[in-house]
Amino acid sequence: MLYSKLTRLPQKNAVRCHLCAHRCIIPDGKAGFCLVRKNESGKLCSLNWGKAVALAMDPIEKKPFFHFKPGTKVLSFGTPGCNFRCLNCQNWDLSQGVRESGQSVFDGNDIPPAAIAEAARRQKADGIAYTYSEPTIFFEYAYDTVQECKKMQKEKKLAKDFFHLFVSNGYFTKEMLDIVEKEKLLSAIRIDLKFTRDDKYYEITGGRFQPVLDSIRRVAALRNNSRWPVHLEVINLVIPGENDTPDDFRAVAEHLYSLSPDIPLHFSRFFPYYQMSHKPPTPIPSLLEAKKIAQDAGLHYVYVGNTDAEGAENTVCPKCNALLIERNKFSPGKNVFAKLGGEEKKNPACPECGEKIEIVL
């Protein structure tokens, strides 16, 4: 348990949490919407601090990040709790653990941040991905883990370019992102843009559309930040009957294009799960249609995930269509950037036509 860094203390021992966009006002003895942030006598506590589960080594492409450090490996973990209640959640036993099973999900020994950092060193990870459940609601735990890793970097136990990633639903506040920027915590954030209609967002997730769009805009603004750039990729899970019309695909693409045509967009295939087990998987033609619509809208890097569709995960030059990185189920094959160094690595370009490619190597 840890007292939060992101809280204000109003009168009568109620607290307002400023970590996520719900901005819950929490009475004494109660928890917020996420059920893992509790008011104890006027102080906001993080109940899931140290409660890491599902530690695993993953290819970074599985997150998915296709334009950040391709071919690297990340140590991934999450904790119980979430600030959404997605009806289709594939990790519902973790994200909805408190709601489904009660306080027993917090039983067991803590895994302190120093142990996470040591696990990353021991398993020769290139970075850490805070994932599986929403990392916003275990921000203090992630923050302390980043600090432990920085100590190990100074001691040369972790590489100088060791990095940290959030795989997020985007329902975090400006205050949280300000800390990320000020203290140089994260190198990349992948955000789910689940829907572009507010009523659909609320119906299926319990959240709202505008705060997610605001987060995407704020992170997009950090992509070229000279002090601390934060890479951004966006995923849209295509659910049959919910967000799978041409207008839906076009709206997603146009929102991103208005920020930058270079933001990578992943259309991901839905599979029936949890409270949406009655729905069919997304038809492949629907996903390929989404990709074409997004490309026609002007986006340079559009992918289709969770399929075996040929070439759907490949990165190609937006100018001459040359194959740059070949992928198959998250595993990179051909990679024309693999052996670059020096300035070429800092400024990657298509070897065929010289077009600048927006990718962090």
Q: List domains and CATH numbers for the chain.
A: 2-46 (no CATH), 53-313 (3.20.20.70), 314-361 (no CATH)
The proportion of the chain whose per-residue pLDDT surpasses 70, expressed as a percent, equals 97
Global pTM? 0.96
Q: What is the pLDDT of residues 134-191, one digit of tens each?
A: 999 999 999 999 999 999 999 999 999 999 999 999 999 999 999 999 999 999 999 9
Separation between Cα atoms, residue 279 and residue 256, nearest integer Å: 28
Cβ-count burial 253-265 (b if 16+ within 10 Å, e if not): bebbbebebbbbb
Separation between Cα atoms, residue 157 and residue 122, nearest integer Å: 10
Q: What is the pLDDT of residues 85-100, one digit of tens each?
A: 999 999 999 999 998 8
DSSP assignments along 187-242, one per residue = SEEEEE---S-HHHHHHHHSS-HHHHHHHHHHHHHHTT-SSS--EEEEEEEE-TTT
**Which residue type does 300 have?**
H
- Report DSSP state, residue 263: S
Owner of token pair 């740059």? 324
Separation between Cα atoms, residue 81 and residue 38, nearest integer Å: 12
